[in-house]
Amino acid sequence: MNKKEEFKNFVKKHPILLNYVKDGSMTWQSFFEIYDMYGEDINAWQNYLTMPSSKENFDLSSFFKGLDLDSIQNGIGSLQRVISLFQDMSSNKTPKEDYKPRPIYKHFED
């Protein structure tokens, strides 16, 4: 098996490496270079095979800190205005009177 295939198998055994690539702190090229030089030596990988607990667990408070509540409130207000506009448009329709066809033999004003 060549180095590339061995590296792919190593990554499959350690999917935590994917998190480093996703957050932009490492690249696959950098990981491959480490693997090429050191192989599966645990000492070379100890910094990457365990994530800090803050990255492992989803922190709900940090999620809400990143939200812009004013823009969410403005969006909800706009949506409420659109809904009320549609409600007004649908409720203002007056029902038409029953249509009574004019007899064929009659002309206007007869």
Q: Are residues 17 and 47 in the same domain?
A: yes
pLDDT at residue number 93: 62
pLDDT at residue number 4: 87
The answer on pLDDT for 102 being more than 60 is yes
For 83, the domain range is 60-91
Identify the band that residue 87 occupies on the pLDDT scale cut at 50, 70 and 90.
confident
* Residue 28: inside a domain: yes
Burial 16-45 (b: 16+ CB within 10 A, else e): ebeebeeeeeeeeeebbebbeeeeeeeeeb
Q: Are residues 8 and 45 in the same domain?
A: yes
The count of domains in the chain is 2
pLDDT at residue number 39: 87
Which range has the worst mean pLDDT, 30-34, 51-55, 85-89?
51-55
Q: Are residues 34 and 72 in the same domain?
A: no
